[in-house]
Structure 1
Amino acid sequence: MQQRGFGDLEATVMDRVWAREDGVTVRDVFDELTGTRQIAYTTVLSTMDNLHRKGWVRRDRQGKAYRYWPTMTREERSANLMRAAFSAGGDTEAVLAFFVGQMTAEESAQLRAALRHGGSGRRT
């Protein structure tokens, strides 16, 4: 799957999808969003349909509605974006050096811990 950034509304919708282990309906997302912004139900419907078409969510029909689930976790998506950035960034060693140089002490400790554990999705 090509890794591109989400639009503002897509990112907001995906936050709602990732937050619910039992999946979400368009109505669920619409009801949550109307508390913070003016938005039409059909806009949420179109956005979720677009996310499905792009492969970011899967859906199953439940009665007259669909229930949506993410096709990958937020962490998997972030890792894929990082992989794409390393691939497109030219000199990988230089990209990594700049990346590590911008880390906080806590992030650096988390990176060292991840390297010690070898990572579960490690490429060979």
Structure 2
Amino acid sequence: MSKPTESELEILSLLWEMKEASVRQVHERLAEIKDTGYTTTLKTMQNMHAKGMVHRNEEQRTHVYRPITNQKETQKSLLKNLVTTAFGGSAQKLVLQALGAEKPSKEELDEIRAFLDQLENQK
């Protein structure tokens, strides 16, 4: 699968949440967060179908799309690419930058600590 563009990733995120949806349903959700035209959403979803990112059910008049790509695998691939290109392959630099950019809540820090403890216990 090719790397999704920012617009494709926004649509994939909605489809992962919604499981399946028509172009109209996706467009209505997108319009809540950004100014975009229906035809732009339609064309992007058609391109995503051509790229193999989404399946299109054409049995009814209104085509229904669902993601083919797995959310976790896509995130893993994008993160690996980001770490390699932007952080010289250093996960440490990525994490430090991410934690420094936004002040994590106490709950988030507790989850991070628990995750780190789990990683250490696996060794």
Pairing 1:16-95 to 2, within 5 Å after superposition: 16-21=14-19, 23-32=20-29, 37=35, 39-40=37-38, 42-70=39-67, 71-73=69-71, 75-88=72-85, 89-92=87-90, 94-95=92-93
Match for 1:29: what amino acid? Answer: V
Match for 2:55: what amino acid? Answer: R
1:76 and 1:18 map into 2 onto residues whose CA distance is 12
Assess, with a 3 A threshold, how the Cα gap between structure 1 residues 13 and 76 changes in structure 2: closer, same or farther: same
Match for 2:84: what amino acid? Answer: S
Between the aligned residues of both structures, percent identity stands at: 27
Normalised TM-score (structure 2): 0.61
- Number of paired residues? 113
Normalised TM-score (structure 1): 0.61
Unaligned runs of 5+ in 2: none
Pairing 1:3-18 to 2, within 5 Å after superposition: 3-7=3-7, 10-18=8-16
- By how many angstroms is 1:78 displaced? 2.9
1:11 and 1:69 map into 2 onto residues whose CA distance is 13
1:117 and 1:93 map into 2 onto residues whose CA distance is 17
Match for 1:79: what amino acid? Answer: K
Unaligned runs of 5+ in 1: 119-124
Between Structure 1 and Structure 2, which shows a larger proportion of helix residues? 2
